[in-house]
Amino acid sequence: MKNTDIYDKNGFVSIDDIIGDTGKYSAKSSLEEMLGEDRSHAGDAKRDVFTDIISDKVKFFKQILDEIDGQIKDRECLKDTIQQKIDLRLCKLKTKIYEVEPWGLGNNKNIDSRRDKLEKEIEALAKQKSEESRESWRDIALLRKEYRQFSEQYRNALRKSNLIGNMNENETQSP
């Protein structure tokens, strides 16, 4: 059974009715007082939080840079693997052309047809190798652009971290 006197007209229960006066904040004048901190340590806590945030940013950007560097190496490795497979296929096709070379041109229609197919396949593979090289260059160029952008953010965060570190050292050394 519902206790109808705690529900409003929409059927919702007010949080004040549930927790009563025990959940209400006391009339302290500042957040530091509510958290049990006095003003002299509030600056240190803020500085520590700020230092932690900057330190986390530095770590985060470093991880991103390492990840992008790995992606660049992976893309170069993929390009090399694909081009090696294309080169292997090209070698096999050129060997087949050398096998039909003794028959000469125009002596046998079947041999001429085979030679034409082999030459077209070689041209297609050469084109594919060129396209792979171009695509790889494009992908790596985009990754390097992204690397430069994150590198700038990493350097800025590192400068801030060093600046905060120097400020903390100066404050601990002063009497």
What pLDDT is recorded for position 20? 52
Burial of 91 (0-12, 13-18, 19+ CB in 10 A): exposed
- For residue 25, what is the DSSP state? P
- For residue 135, give the nearest of 70, 73, 66, 78 by alpha carbon: 78
pTM: 0.61
Could you tell me what percent of the chain has a pLDDT over 70? 66
Q: Mean of the pLDDT values across residues 8-16?
A: 57
Residue 161, pLDDT score: 86
Q: Which residue has the higher pLDDT, 1 or 106?
A: 106
Question: Does residue 92 contact residue 39 with C-beta atoms inside 8 Å?
Answer: no
Report the mean per-residue pLDDT for the chain. Answer: 78
More confident residue, 22 or 161: 161
